[in-house]
Chains A and B, each alone.
Chain A
């Protein structure tokens, strides 16, 4: 029916078998039923959210206060919500991969090869582009402007557009569960496998457009953050006084600006191959996939530092705060961060030592790779010396930092092994490599983000997270990581290839079982995190820290209420050192009200971001399914949106001095009424967000 008349023009290459329900109906295997179940879950999830919002009558509130908001804090929170949603999906997929591999030892298991390949491709792509990136961008968004004493980022509207491009791309990932299928080419999408000749379906197209939208969003974010750091710092906030988190945000942004376009170009060229019959990376007519490998990893290696540097920033803040001590070796940390950022562009070949280039080239890139270990090691020691002669408090963020330092070193250990080309030849493309990069990314990214989440949550929402559940979750993340990934080192050394749907030798079985148990513990960890959120919200009144400074904080972000007013600071602060708020608390009264208040101007909400994101995703959807009419309408709509926005005149809102004064007074009253907390009891309900300072 759908191949006749007008249908092909309307529906492109869609047919009923694109729906997992139809596939499961016709061929009810476990694999298809799981696929249909996942699709059902997406649909039910969406329906529940819509019904809930409608029942609560919150559409207007959601739209005007959140979705269209240009407030960097709200945008940051939305990014992190997105990250948690995507983390949940990708973690479930990881467990399915683990279960399949444990089951499929000398039998077929329960997930068909094609479905399995989609699972590792979506897991990897989501974890990198739609979990890690949104999480770190969200955290930077929330914290960095506060830390530099600014009221917003440099380009608030662009910020919203980036959010929505990322959100649209993530939406496309979700849609691929319900309509059609995803790529089977892994998170790296190597051609020629992903070319039309070998993967004619819609899968690689979903991957291409989701990643392209995401990468454009990230490039814009990088520009936005870098300009913010350069231009929006408050008086006295010299570069060498910036908190380390701001430094790492800056380096990450610079990396984004230079690395992301390489990815955009790689996926765009692949799209040209697939859509218009170009031959950049095909086998035939002079194409060469080696160019793709170079372009992709020219992005890919800096990308891992984009992911890791913000976490390094979080650790610097956390270790210093919870040791009540100045950061050791500030200058050397800054230099090390810069060195890492620079060197990260010089090592990409280590991702394909086995492509047949000569020994000189491999050796040079191998040595360059080891060199990065030096500044990284220096940073670890800087944190150790920061604890040295401090007063260490084992709060949840601090626990994550400690677990990170010890676990990350093991990942560095295997990283140096892999930097030796002759050693890489043996374990490249095996589970050893998978173990290595999870050993870097779980402590180096996920723990860092979770530490940041626990650390700044009270700032963002005005109450502390539940301590007990935080510790349970932490324990599960750490124990689960070791049990899930240490076996992979062994399996990889024994030659088990990554992305393998089945094994033949029972000798592997105990290790896969163990890894499976580890993955389940990791699910428990995420579960505990959600329980913690639930419990904390219920107990929010007992754990409120509206006064704003629950940890005896050091940076400016702690010198305002929790949550901060929309304009962050009633008066732009002026700083005199590296730990401005910590010093101010000890020198004079940091809560002294200013003589007078001025009116504050901030950008007004705008629907441009949501428009561009949603329409962008629809355009991409049209491209995936060859529904050209949708693509054309989409492109026109985006252009129209941009033009319409440029005619908008009233793009600012004003906070009159009276209102600012009222808000500020209310907060200062709360500060005055709060009992200062000593560090011993900061993890209890005694903590009202004002720190006790001795001198």
Chain B
């Protein structure tokens, strides 16, 4: 029969599509690479499962009841004046309230443990990074190492990273889905983000808050290295003899996205604090 031969194909195509398409989730929090993202990913699953039980009944009951009580079905009951029942009323108010109370506790707990400002417990001191959102690039300053990089964030695996953020322009938001959620960066203000990588790899980072015609180019890679490789990178960066001098600084504030990441072998003292002050000065 013609129909049955076509049918497997009919199912196979969408299935293949979905399977190949789901590759993209490699880039999402489901493919987490650090403790914060891992915890967020678990939370997705927990809440998702609870919600299946919330949405499920509606998805089932709506078509079933509508179809069973269709006009042409003469076997169904018809009570045009029936309009209330305390039992049903209890059924539709109490379980949802219970679920919201239950989820409320979960929410309270996770919002506090996953607070981006909360330092990650570790016996290693956190690596300090200062991130500055610019048009259309990110500047990452390593204040303790006195180096900096544009559109590239190197971090050591297994050690917490504490990022202070500000913006040298309009508001931006820093998101690295495989490591942690996002936080805004606003001129004249500092926000904070704590994250850590648990395995070496390259993870995508980006600005998610629209900020002009170069917005789509404002992407960067986070490169998580083993501690020794990371130290080697720091040495390498220091040796590169490309200081963040006045000319480079002026260039950073030009509206553009560098085609390649840039590494600076040294940065001026208090650069981050100066940007904070500077962006509040009259233009």
Contact = CB atoms under 8 A, between A and B. Distances in A.
B108 A417 contact: no
Contacts of A660: none
A330 to B, nearest CB: 7
B64 to A, nearest CB: 9
Given A356-B192, A423-B44, A326 B81 contact: yes
Contacts of A52: none
Contacts of A355: 184, 186, 191
A113 B214 contact: yes
B132 interface: no
B85 to A, nearest CB: 8
Contact of A426 (B175, B184, B280): B175
A3 interface: no
Interface in A157-213: 184-186, 190-193, 197-198
A511 interface: yes
Interface string B1-45: 000000000000000010011111111111000000001100110
Given A285-B282, A384-B58, A500-B215, A495 B28 contact: yes
Contact of B208 (A393, A421, A430): A430
B111 interface: yes
Interface in A464-516: 490-491, 493-495, 497-505, 507-508, 510-511, 514
A425 interface: yes
Given A290-B186, A354-B183, A423-B47, A330 B206 contact: no
Contacts of A631: none
Given A410-B55, A493-B29, A510-B20, A392 B169 contact: no
What is the interface residue range for chain A against chain B? 35 or more
A71 interface: no
Interface stretch (A297-305, A361-369, A455-463): A361-369
Given A367-B108, A494-B27, A352 B184 contact: yes
Nearest to B37: A426
A511 B24 contact: yes
Nearest to A191: B170
B107 A190 contact: no
Contacts of B249: none
A507 B86 CA distance: 52
Interface in B73-87: 76-85
Contact of B51 (A327, A356, A417, A493): A417
B111 A363 contact: yes
A405 B62 contact: yes
Contact of A493 (B25, B91, B187): B25
Interface stretch (A370-378, A565-573, A632-640): A370-378
A536 interface: no
B47 A417 contact: yes
Contacts of A413: 51, 54-55
B107 A367 contact: yes
Given A374-B96, A378-B93, A390-B80, A117 B181 contact: no
Nearest to A188: B210
A159 to B, nearest CB: 34
Contacts of B21: 490, 510-511
B40 A362 contact: no
A425 B184 contact: no
B61 A384 contact: yes
A352 B186 CA distance: 13
A148 interface: no
A37 interface: no
A495 B84 contact: no
Contact of B216 (A190, A191, A286, A501): A501
B107 A186 contact: no
A498 B171 CA distance: 15
A374 B93 contact: yes
Given A284-B280, A402-B66, A409-B58, A354 B80 contact: no
A380 interface: yes
A117 B213 contact: yes
Interface residues of B, number: 99
B70 A392 contact: yes
A615 B192 CA distance: 49
Contacts of A367: 100, 104, 107-108
Contacts of A409: 55, 58-59
A388 B187 CA distance: 57
A380 B58 contact: yes
Interface string A313-339: 000000000011111111110000000
A289 B69 contact: no
B278 to A, nearest CB: 10
Given A363-B107, A422-B114, A424-B181, A327 B83 contact: yes
A679 B74 CA distance: 14
A27 interface: no
Nearest to A500: B216
Interface in A381-423: 381-382, 384-385, 387-394, 402, 405-406, 409-410, 412-413, 416-417, 419-423
A429 B206 CA distance: 11
Given A380-B58, A381-B92, A511-B21, A426 B29 contact: yes
A358 interface: yes
A428 B85 CA distance: 41
Interface string B83-103: 111001101110011001001
Contacts of A589: none
Contacts of B82: 325-326, 328, 389
Contacts of A420: 43, 47, 106-107, 110-111
A329 B182 contact: no
A113 B84 CA distance: 56
A88 to B, nearest CB: 25
A359 interface: yes
A124 to B, nearest CB: 11
B148 interface: no
B70 A394 contact: yes
A327 B170 CA distance: 51
B258 interface: no
A380 B91 CA distance: 13
B193 to A, nearest CB: 9
Contacts of A428: 173, 181-182, 208
B28 A493 contact: yes
B208 A494 contact: no
Nearest to A320: B83
Interface in A235-292: 283-286, 289-290
Nearest to B31: A494
A285 B84 CA distance: 61
B49 to A, nearest CB: 11
25 contacts: A193-B170, A284-B279, A285-B280, A323-B69, A325-B80, A325-B81, A329-B84, A354-B182, A355-B191, A356-B192, A373-B100, A382-B92, A384-B65, A391-B70, A391-B80, A406-B63, A412-B54, A417-B47, A420-B47, A421-B111, A422-B40, A425-B114, A493-B28, A497-B206, A505-B27
Closest 6 pairs between A and B when the two form their complex, measured CB to CB? A425-B181, A429-B208, A422-B114, A113-B213, A356-B191, A381-B92
